[in-house]
Structure 1
Amino acid sequence: MRHILCVSGGKDSAALAIYMRDKVPGMEYVFCDTEKELPETYEYLARLEGILGKTIVTLKDGRGFDHWLEIFRGYLPSSRMRWCTRHLKLHPFERYVGDSAVTSYVGIRADEDREGYISTKPNIKALFPFKEDGLGYPDIVRILEESGIGMPQYRTWRSRSGCFFCFFQQKIEWVGLLEHHPHLFELASQYEKYDESSGRRFTWCDNESLEELSRPERVATIKTEHARRMERNLVAHITLAEILEDDSWERPCLVCTL
């Protein structure tokens, strides 16, 4: 039986890796790299390796996002068609596992009302140590702080790990990308297309392009709306990341964001 913990560069999987460090001899740590991750994600994973004292194996598709975008004829991934997760995250993980009997450790917390899996292969059994041990958000923060790694740096403006152009980002997070990594924002905008023959727009956001979103007046509006929302949630939510996490919007892919 192999024991594998897939880290994403997010807080929950990092905390789980630290939590399980001395509990399971021979634990394998892996990271499925889309090669479109935030710079902060790679930096956080490097620090996590130092704390674990063990290499995090990097898994890659070998062909990359641009190849699959061409295969899907320019159809950007979306919540309705998550081909990026399937081809750049799940498939590399399943190839690495092969036919071995594997226990996969997943960082869903006890205070989260959701189910989750990394793979549906019959030889992979998922375990949820945080759920089993009753650990919630405050415990994850404590584990990260006590280990010295703390929260990922991107948490000051973005709630989760994942590709810099992840379609699950909210408008305020796109603004964060624009302000913290303008070159990545520009790269993301270059993927957006307009099909003159059909009149269809292929954009990351449902109702506007990144060019439209980046206009100064639009950025100001997004920030104002966000500030009002922060005021409404001040009692229950302290940080941007906590507010975004608690949303009732559709949940992003576990293997990308935990």
Structure 2
Amino acid sequence: MTEPRKIKHVLGLSGGKDSAALAIYMRDTYPDLDIEYFFTDTGKELPEVYDYFNKLEAYLGKDIARLNDDKGFDYWLKQFNNFLPSAQQRWCTIQMKLKPFEEWVKPLIEDGYEIVSYVGIRADEPYRDGYVPTEKFLKVRMPFVEDGLNKQDIINILNNTGLGLPKYYEWRSRSGCTFCFYQRKIEWVKLKERHPEAFEEAKCYEKHLNENASGEKYYWLGMDTPLNTLEDPKRIEEIKRNHEKALKRFEKKRRRNALYEEELIEMVDLDAIYDEVEGGGACITCYK
């Protein structure tokens, strides 16, 4: 008779609010579970993410394992012929987020473990498959869905610990690389203001891009739209005005909806402000 497999509990942190709240929730609600926390680090993450992890480690009383692919973004950009990652070609997520995780758990599975991975999808958002395991003995659980926790519950968890939200939510809607292509124009403008050196680095990556068969180039902002188009002061003011208009429209919509009780946090609610599904299509490995 085959012996039952040993169980290893793991929880991936992206630097986002939901995975951070899930780590706290699991520690406080299920203290008997020995959970290993990990972060797949591309080396291009926001500095606010690293600062937040230091505080989170102190609360959890455990280190957060840093996983990486040992090669870095520049190596993979060259492997993909200087074509930047995009929503259609998310090679950065695959090569620098998912594969390091799979390589981390593979020896454990070979050693007879079943891996239970906890994911921060909430009960109030459309169900998303997120990461679909390729290993037979890798299972995914969603405690917030199982226990019925919504966005306001997550905000409360973070506030009640004294940690609050990561600081980048003051100006950006998600964690991830400084030059994440899922940023909206208002976020690129704020990146330029908050971290001008990161904005300049993103511009540098656009200098050596290859053209597609039609002679077009894909930039961080999309086809044939380089970042330097955001450096015109008039264009910056236009982006800020348009964002304020979108914010005011959303506030009016909220006031008309008497059932909407959650507090408005501008960048946390940025997808809703622009009438998109939360995450905007981004992989939960990067932003949750």
Q: TM tier, shorter chain?
A: over 0.9
| 3-state SS, counterpart of residue 241 of structure 2 | helix
Report the TM-score when normalising by structure 2.
0.86
Matched, 1:169 2:183: yes
The match for 2:120 is 107
Matched, 1:248 2:276: yes
Give me the whole-angstrom Cα distance separating, in 2, the residues matched to 1:132 and 1:245: 24
Instruction: Find the partner of 1:209 among 226, 234, 259.
Output: 226
The match for 1:19 is 25
Give me the whole-angstrom Cα distance separating, in 1, the residues matched to 2:268 and 2:231: 24
Provide the alpha-carbon RMSD of the alignment: 1.6
What is the CA-CA distance between 1:115 and the residue it aligns to? Answer: 1.1
The match for 1:238 is 264
Q: State how 1:1-258 maps to structure 2 within 5 Å.
A: 1-22=7-28, 23=30, 24-98=32-106, 99=109, 100-121=113-134, 122-193=136-207, 195=210, 199-207=215-223, 208-235=225-252, 236=254, 238-246=264-272, 247-248=275-276, 250-258=280-288
The match for 2:3 is none
User: Unpaired runs of 5+ in structure 1?
Assistant: none
Residue deviations 1:26-55 (CA, integer Å, cap 9, x gap) = 100000000000000000111100000000
Task: Assess, with a 3 A threshold, how the Cα gap between structure 1 residues 226 and 29 changes in structure 2: closer, same or farther.
Answer: same
Contact 2:83 2:210 in 1 (8 A): no
Report the TM-score when normalising by structure 1.
0.95
**Matched letter for residue 102 of structure 1:** I
User: Identity across aligned pairs (percent)?
Assistant: 47
**Matched letter for residue 11 of structure 1:** K
**Matched letter for residue 63 of structure 1:** K
Task: Assess, with a 3 A threshold, how the Cα gap between structure 1 residues 119 and 45 changes in structure 2: closer, same or farther.
Answer: farther
Contact 1:192 1:201 in 2 (8 A): no
Larger-Rg structure: 2
What is the CA-CA distance between 1:196 and the residue it aligns to? Answer: 7.4
What is the CA-CA distance between 1:152 and the residue it aligns to? Answer: 0.6
Contact 1:103 1:127 in 2 (8 A): yes
Give me the whole-angstrom Cα distance separating, in 2, the residues matched to 1:30 and 1:172: 30
Task: Assess, with a 3 A threshold, how the Cα gap between structure 1 residues 223 and 52 changes in structure 2: closer, same or farther.
Answer: same
Contact 2:169 2:268 in 1 (8 A): no
Give me the whole-angstrom Cα distance separating, in 1, the residues matched to 2:132 and 2:43: 21
Give me the whole-angstrom Cα distance separating, in 2, the residues matched to 1:152 and 1:107: 16
Residue deviations 1:170-210 (CA, integer Å, cap 9, x gap) = 11100110000001000011111355796422310115211
Q: Which shows bigger deviation, 126-135 or 96-105?
A: 96-105
Query: How many correspondences in the alignment?
Result: 258
Q: Which shows bigger deviation, 5-14 or 194-203?
A: 194-203
User: Unpaired runs of 5+ in structure 2?
Assistant: 1-6, 255-262
- Runs of 4+ in structure 1 over 6 Å off: none
What is the CA-CA distance between 1:218 and the residue it aligns to? Answer: 0.9
**Matched letter for residue 103 of structure 1:** V
Residue deviations 1:69-88 (CA, integer Å, cap 9, x gap) = 00000010001010000000
Contact 2:81 2:210 in 1 (8 A): no
**Matched letter for residue 18 of structure 1:** I
What is the CA-CA distance between 1:255 and the residue it aligns to? Answer: 0.6
Contact 1:108 1:116 in 2 (8 A): no
